[in-house]
Amino acid sequence: MKKLLFQLDTDPIPSAFDIVTAYDAGAHHVVSYAGIAPDQVQGLVHGCIFTRGGEDLRHTAIWIGGRDIAAGEQVLDVVTKSFFGDFRVSVMLDSNGANTTAATAVAQLIRAVDVREGTVVVAAGTGPVGIRTAGLFAREGARVIVTSPLRDQLERASELVKARFGAEIVTRYVENGDVDGYRTLLADARVLFGAGPAGVRLVPETAWQESAGLEAVVDLNLAPPSGIEGVSTGDAGKERAGKRCFGAIGVGHPKMKLHKACIASLFERKDLVLDIAEIYAAARGL
């Protein structure tokens, strides 16, 4: 029986990245749907759950992708609500790679640094990756500070982390590139994590390199300039100014491994729902 992966992509064209990765993870056929809106989902799910019986349903799985993770979350919600009783297949949400990226980066950090009761600063952390990163660190026992130059996003970020992870975080308004602002925050932080948009400089070198307690720095920005000055995209634990540094490509390789491992796991059972918590558990196990 063929392993069929139904790709529900909320973008106008389905992600080629996700298709190649799915084949390399062992899917026999990727069936791609683009521009998927919530009202189209139930019929597709019925097509998935009513065609194979019993345990054979583990050979069908659903992947939710696209750039807009809020749209992806709505799709996931309809997918899981369309299941009932034994009529279900495994499903994974990874819109914009946010889940696998956040899970990989935090899992890498946790191995390098003991964050329990330490402070983690997630710079420009009000977007999808930032929210997930903040929540995962908070669940690991860290005191988390999310910064942003957008005042109105800070409260929302705090609420999202609470709703999704049941964890409390602290938020701080900081302008991008504000040396004094970041230096003060980083004075007693153990981890600095840059989760801002591509090509935006968040934290200058002088704001973090002299922080005595800082042990690790992550920057997920692939396009120059880096979000955190001084971190290189290829860094994968490299020591700079005495801190272990991780860049976008350094995180990208294990992210790809996690992505494939998660897809492969979809076909082992028929009842997996892989969102950030489950994907993080998989990242910790790799």
Q: Which of 19, 76, 98, 218 binds its own copies (CB under 8 A)?
A: 19
Q: Among residues 12 and 224, whose Cβ is nearest to its own copies?
A: 12
The stretch among 12-20, 119-127, 182-190, 225-233 that binds its own copies (CB under 8 A) is 12-20
Tokens of 10: 């909320």
Q: Among residues 20 and 163, whose Cβ is nearest to its own copies?
A: 20
CB neighbours of residue 109 within 10 Å:
27
- Quote the DSSP letter at residue 97: G
The verdict on 31 binding its own copies (CB under 8 A) reads yes
| Residue in this structure with the two tokens 């349903």, named with its chain if needed | 57
Q: Where are the beta strands (DSSP E) in 26-93?
A: 29-33, 60-65, 90-93
Q: Which of 5, 10, 18, 226 binds its own copies (CB under 8 A)?
A: 18
Q: Which of 38, 40, 87, 179 binds its own copies (CB under 8 A)?
A: 40
The stretch among 40-48, 195-203, 213-221, 228-236 that binds its own copies (CB under 8 A) is 40-48
Could you tell me the strand order of the sheet in which 273-274 lies? 29-33, 4-9, 60-65, 90-93, 273-274
Sign of the dihedral through C-alpha 109, 114, 116, 118: negative
Q: Which of 5, 9, 10, 33 binds its own copies (CB under 8 A)?
A: 33
Find, among 197, 239, 195, 216, the residue nearest to 142 by Cα: 216
The verdict on 158 binding its own copies (CB under 8 A) reads no
| Interface with its own copies (CB under 8 A) | 1-2, 4, 6, 12-13, 15-21, 23-24, 29-33, 36, 40, 43-48, 50-52, 60, 256
